[in-house]
Structure 1
Amino acid sequence: MGSPTDEELMDRFCDGEHAAFETLFARHAGRVQGFLTRMVRDGPLAEDLLQTTFLSVIRARGRYEPGTRFTPWLLTIAANAARDALRRRQHSEAYSQESDPLPSSVAPDVGDPGMRKRIENALQQLPPEQREAVLLSKVEGWSFEEIASMRGISTVAARVRAHRGYEKLRLLLGELGEA
């Protein structure tokens, strides 16, 4: 038989098998960190939030419902941690009157670094709900139904958030001379 599914591993972890958690962490840490980095655009903060996310998995294991799809559940925890961090950062920046709200410590991946940087900068200009909808639908491949379920909103609302995000990205990237 092949390797166990994420859901089987989570069930085993809930039953006290710590090695199952280590396997889940190894499988998903990179993907979750990439998602968090795109959400908060701060490498060290994303690393902290990765730890927070998996600590939340440990704490929430008693509330994990058998049969729940693991990856959407995990990314929901990560998205909530990112949103909380963005809210805290926004609050502290408003309080301290700093003029540069976006750290630029994330190195672009391989590919066209200039275009990647323009896309990352444009993503950061989206409201968090739109940025999350765009990242989940385009980068993570989630359906609007999954996004709606995660956020507790209608599928139409999820689609509208993503659509508005795509439109704003098109405008922002168009302003940068990209068609």
Structure 2
Amino acid sequence: MEKRSDEEIWRRMLDGDARAFGVIWDRHRDRVLRSLISLGSVQADAEDLSAMTFLELWRRRLHVRFVDASLLPWLLVTAHNVHRNAARARRRYHALLARLPIAAHAPDPADLVPDSTPRAQAVREVLRVARPVDRALLELTALDGLTVREASQALGIGESAAKMRLSRLRRRMSDAAEPARVADSAPILEGEIT
């Protein structure tokens, strides 16, 4: 199939040959990518725009034009159009941002949560000095609702290790919070000024 013209391969694709589109992709993707980079796109953007170009090829599959039995000219013109559309959208976006009023500094939501109790401060300190993987495990299980197995797989550690890490972190938090809880609930003695 490789020695055939794009037009022949395209007819096979339209007739149901699932591999034919892949042959076109393999044959022309590098050239489309180089063309987009030469227009000024950075590598990552050029890769996205290349994918958009081939998506447009698929969308317009019944209306593509062949030049000397090749799809390359059509792909390059389409890549230029996709590049121009993306640049226009980027300019519009930046113009919109420039017209927006500058927002006042918003307070950190964490600052709005009262944490003046010794217990909250103690737990926050344990979390601050905990290993990043331990904090991530706690966040994934307690806040995001993942099971320990799911969280351990997401972080690339064993399930038993994840259980041990969580157990230790919870114990440290509990130990830190307990003396603070006692301090929070201590009765006020007569004559003390609060």
More helix by share: 1
TM-score, normalization by structure 1: 0.49
Highest Rg: 1 or 2?
Answer: 2
